[in-house]
């Protein structure tokens, strides 16, 4: 078993990380960190537990530490980070320099040239960028990232379509409130409403998807040439981001071929990867957040509503934003690091 720590363990994503790591076959939770206000308290004193399963007994009496290299034990090799991005930008490089391998969910440094941005089923080979990073920065540890939750939902479906020559992608999202965190959107703002703006989200979808589907040539990731434009919207669902995608391809492709290609797209064999990565539906009104977000224990992507367009195909896709889109994505990346010998 590998001793691991969770940075930002008291937050919404931190609690999901505890849910996923407590029963994990390869990882043992050894350290929990949070802000200076929580340091020194037991986890049950520091965390307002809001997850949908009880707080595991094994973490209740762990003393929460500060989030800095001196406060984290030497027995820990892997850190899962769910810090606010400003805090992540300050402390994650120090932790990697101090020898820890950091699998981070926070948005800072996702687009840095020597930081791998990984979805294991899509671009596991980009992990080789860690060797470039260690050479460049002289680190014994490492920093890798999972993408933004809306990007993770769409990219596996695009990866399945790329064989037909992806040229252009247009996407409009309907995002759940959990993506904004517990205090992110008030009930007065979102009930009986939809908010057609999520700061920075569109730019993240446009840039991260081209890095994820790019080619790693041993030195850098050459971005995919497709053109991506996004429009992001908040709606009053709790979990599960639904997205309407228009993808234009250089080759002619039928809706049936697209559905078959997504359905056949291979999953990985890591402990947290779902048996089937993309579930496809024939029913035109699926996937739906409430019905489909928990497929594959929240780690699968769903797609449906396939329709021919002038330049390619239109479809809808969905994933659980705080599992596949956040905590589960970081855990999967940790499993990949272990399998590939980076721990
Ligand atoms: N992949 C994705 O798309 C998603 C990513 N996220 C990202 O994950 C991160 C966490 O989000 P979420 O869990 O909702 O946030 P929360 O606000 O719920 O939790 C933040 C955590 O960080 C800790 N923290 C706050 N300030 C500091 C500090 N100065 N030093 C150390 N620790 C600090 C908090 O500790 P304390 O309790 O002591 O304040 C808490 O544990 C964010 O970067 C968010 O953008 C979130 C959802 C989806
Ligand atoms: N912005 C996302 C969640 C998030 O925190 O994304 P990021 O990890 O890119 O900051 C949402 O609101 O649903």
Q: pLDDT tens, position by position, for the chain (343 residues)?
A: 999 999 999 999 999 999 999 999 999 999 999 999 999 999 999 999 999 899 999 999 999 999 999 999 889 999 999 999 999 999 999 999 999 999 999 999 999 999 999 999 999 999 999 999 999 999 999 999 999 999 999 999 999 999 999 999 999 999 999 999 888 999 999 999 999 999 999 999 999 999 999 999 999 999 999 999 999 999 999 999 999 999 999 999 999 999 999 999 999 999 999 999 999 999 999 999 999 999 999 999 999 999 999 999 999 999 999 999 999 999 999 999 999 999 9
Query: Which residue of the set 126, 224, 232, 241 is catalytic?
Result: 241
Q: Indicate if 167 and 295 belong to the same structural domain.
A: yes
3-class SS string, the chain: CEEEEEECCCCHHHHHHHHHHCCCCCEEEEEEEECCCCCCCEHHHHCCCCCCCCCCHHHHCCECEECCHHHCCCCCCEEEECCCHHHHHHHHHHHHHCCCEEEECCCCCCCCCCCCECCHHHHHHHHHHHHHHHHHHCCCCEEEECCCHHHHHHHHHHHHHHHHCEEEEEEEEEECHHHHCCCCCCHHHHCCCCECCCCCHHHHHHHHHHHHCCEECCCCEECCCCEEEEECCECCCCCCEEEEEEEEECCCCCHHHHHHHHHHCCCCCCCCCCCCCEEECCCCCCCCHHHHCCHHHHCCEEEEEEEECCCEEEEEEEECCCHHHHHHHHHHHHHHHHHCCCC
Which residue among 82, 174, 179 has the greatest number of ligand 2 atoms within 8 angstroms of its CB, and so is best to mutate?
179
Ligand 1 site, residue 176, Cβ cutoff 6 A? no
Ligand 1 site, residue 280, Cβ cutoff 6 A? no
- Cα–ligand 1 centroid distance for 92 (angstroms): 13
Give the ligand whose atoms come closest to the C-alpha of residue 13.
1
Q: Indicate if 296 and 333 belong to the same structural domain.
A: no
Give the ligand whose atoms come closest to the C-alpha of residue 8.
1
CA distances from 196 to 62, 193, 233, 245 (A): 41, 10, 4, 17
Query: Which residue of the set 126, 149, 224, 317 is catalytic?
Result: 149
d(CA 259, CA 306): 7
| b/e map 159-183, b = 16+ CB within 10 Å | bbbeebebeebbbbbbbbbbbbeee
Q: Indicate if 183 and 301 belong to the same structural domain.
A: yes
Q: Are strands 78-81 and 221-222 parallel, antiparallel or unpaired?
A: unpaired
Q: Indicate if 17 and 144 belong to the same structural domain.
A: yes
Q: Residue 130: what pLDDT?
A: 98
Q: Indicate if 14 and 25 belong to the same structural domain.
A: yes
d(CA 63, CA 79): 16
Q: Residue 70: what pLDDT?
A: 92
Quote the tokens at residue 150: 């809306």
List the CATH number of the domain containing 97: 3.40.50.720
Ligand 1 site, residue 65, Cβ cutoff 6 A? no
Q: Residue 308: what pLDDT?
A: 97
Q: Which ipTM score applies to this complex?
A: 0.96
- Cα–ligand 1 centroid distance for 90 (angstroms): 14
| Smallest CA separation from ligand 2 atom 9, residue | 148
| Count of domains forming the chain | 2
Q: Indicate if 71 and 174 belong to the same structural domain.
A: no
Q: Indicate if 267 and 194 belong to the same structural domain.
A: yes
Q: Indicate if 26 and 58 belong to the same structural domain.
A: yes
Q: Are residues 7 and 67 in contact, defined by beta-carbon separation less than 8 angstroms? A: yes
| Smallest CA separation from ligand 2 atom 11, residue | 179
List the CATH number of the domain containing 217: 3.30.360.10
Ligand 2 site, residue 302, Cβ cutoff 6 A? no
Length of the chain counted residue by residue? 343
Q: Indicate if 159 and 247 belong to the same structural domain.
A: yes
Asked if 149 is an active-site residue, the reply is yes
Q: Indicate if 84 and 164 belong to the same structural domain.
A: no
Q: Indicate if 211 and 84 belong to the same structural domain.
A: no
| CA dihedral for 29, 341, 295, 316, sign (positive or negative) | positive
Q: Residue 283: what pLDDT?
A: 95
Ligand 2 site, residue 234, Cβ cutoff 6 A? no
Q: Which domain holds residue 172?
A: 149-321
Q: Indicate if 169 and 301 belong to the same structural domain.
A: yes
CA-atom Rg of the chain in angstroms:
19
Q: Residue 73: what pLDDT?
A: 86
For residue 230, the tally of other CB atoms under 10 A from its CB is: 22
Q: Are strands 241-249 and 312-319 parallel, antiparallel or unpaired?
A: antiparallel
Ligand 2 site, residue 205, Cβ cutoff 6 A? no
Give the ligand whose atoms come closest to the C-alpha of residue 40.
1
Ligand 1 site, residue 89, Cβ cutoff 6 A? no
């Amino acid at each position: 078993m590998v001793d691991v720590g969770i940075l930002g363990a008291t937050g919404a994503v931190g609690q999901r990380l505890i849910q996923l790591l407590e029963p994990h076959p390869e990882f043992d939770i050894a350290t929990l960190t949070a802000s200076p206000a929580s340091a020194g308290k037991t986890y049950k004193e520091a965390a307002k537990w809001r997850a949908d399963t009880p707080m595991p007994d094994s973490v209740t009496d762990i003393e929460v530490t500060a989030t800095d290299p001196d406060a984290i034990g030497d027995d820990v090799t892997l850190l899962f980070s769910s810090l606010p991005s400003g805090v992540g930008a300050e402390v994650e490089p120090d932790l990697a320099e101090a020898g820890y391998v950091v699998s981070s969910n926070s948005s800072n440094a996702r687009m840095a040239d020597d930081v791998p941005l990984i979805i294991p089923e899509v671009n596991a080979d980009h992990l080789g960028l860690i060797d470039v990073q260690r050479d460049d920065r002289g680190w014994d540890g490492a920093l890798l990232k999972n993408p933004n939750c809306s990007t993770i939902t769409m990219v596996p479906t695009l990866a399945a379509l790329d064989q037909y020559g992806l040229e252009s992608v247009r996407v409009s999202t309907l995002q759940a409130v959990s993506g904004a965190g517990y205090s992110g959107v008030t009930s007065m703002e979102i009930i009986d409403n939809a908010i057609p703006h999520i700061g920075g989200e569109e730019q993240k979808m446009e840039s991260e998807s081209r890095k994820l589907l790019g080619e790693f040539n041993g030195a850098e990731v050459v971005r995919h040439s497709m053109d991506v434009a996004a429009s992001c919207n908040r709606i009053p669902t709790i979990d599960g981001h639904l997205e309407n995608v228009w993808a234009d391809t250089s080759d002619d492709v039928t809706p049936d071929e697209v559905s078959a290609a997504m359905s056949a797209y291979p999953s990985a064999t890591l402990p947290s990867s779902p048996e089937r990565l993309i579930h496809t539906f024939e029913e035109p009104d699926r996937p739906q957040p409430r019905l489909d977000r928990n497929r594959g224990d929240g780690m699968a992507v769903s797609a449906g509503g396939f329709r021919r367009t002038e330049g390619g195909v239109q479809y809808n896709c969905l994933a659980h934003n705080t599992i596949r889109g956040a905590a589960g994505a970081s855990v999967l990346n940790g499993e990949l690091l272990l399998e590939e010998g980076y721990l």
